[in-house]
Amino acid sequence: MERETEPTSVQNGPETTTPRAIIVETPRLGPQPPRPEPKRGQIHRPKHVPQRTCVACRDKDAKRTLTRIVRTPDGQIEIDPTGKRNGRGAYLCTQASCWQRALTTPVLARALKTEIDDTACMTLQTHLDSLSGPPATAPAADPSERDA
Ligand SMILES: [Zn+2]
């Protein structure tokens, strides 16, 4: 008996006869160069280098070459080598004359909106001394030499 239940081979009926839609897109010719995709959220800005102004000579320079003087929240005037301390800051360049001016004129006091008191003067003077040159280091007397 013939098996009538045998599934008839599937003829590639409609698929082959269906006219394919004409592809109007440009044909791919080999691997395409990757297209640089602009990332969203990236705004093109000119590179911003933070500039600071020396309060004495008004010279603008990149932040790093200027020394920050900070008035701490409790009113102290301190040198802030890190530039990150809290408080109102003012900047002086590395010229000793500018530190001299900060000591003798109200430029720094004005910039910090405070008075430069004796303690602050000492702080500035100490830094000024280190700028004007290495402090004269007294030769260390070695007491052990005495033991002859
Ligand atoms: Zn200066």
pLDDT of residue 65: 86
What H or E segment, with its residue span, contains residue 70?
strand 67-71
Residue 139 DSSP class: P
Contact (CB, 8 A) for 128 and 92: no
pLDDT of residue 17: 56
Distance 89 CA to ligand 1 centre (A): 15
- Each of the 148 residues of the chain gets a pLDDT tens digit; together they read 555 665 655 555 555 555 666 656 666 667 777 777 666 666 677 778 778 999 999 999 876 689 999 999 999 999 999 999 999 999 999 999 999 999 999 999 999 999 999 999 999 999 999 987 655 566 666 666 555 5
pLDDT of residue 50: 77
Distance 55 CA to ligand 1 centre (A): 7
Distance 130 CA to ligand 1 centre (A): 16
Distance 52 CA to ligand 1 centre (A): 10
Q: Which residues of 5-26 are buried (b: 16+ CB within 10 A; e: fewer)?
A: eeeeeeeeeeeeeeeeeeeeee
Distance 141 CA to ligand 1 centre (A): 39
Distance 136 CA to ligand 1 centre (A): 25
What tokens appear for 68 in the block? 């920050």
Domains and CATH numbers, the chain: 51-132 (3.30.1230.10)
User: What CA–CA distance (Å, rounded) separates 113 from 82?
Assistant: 21
pLDDT of residue 91: 95
Q: How many CA atoms lie within 13 A of 137 on its CB side?
A: 6
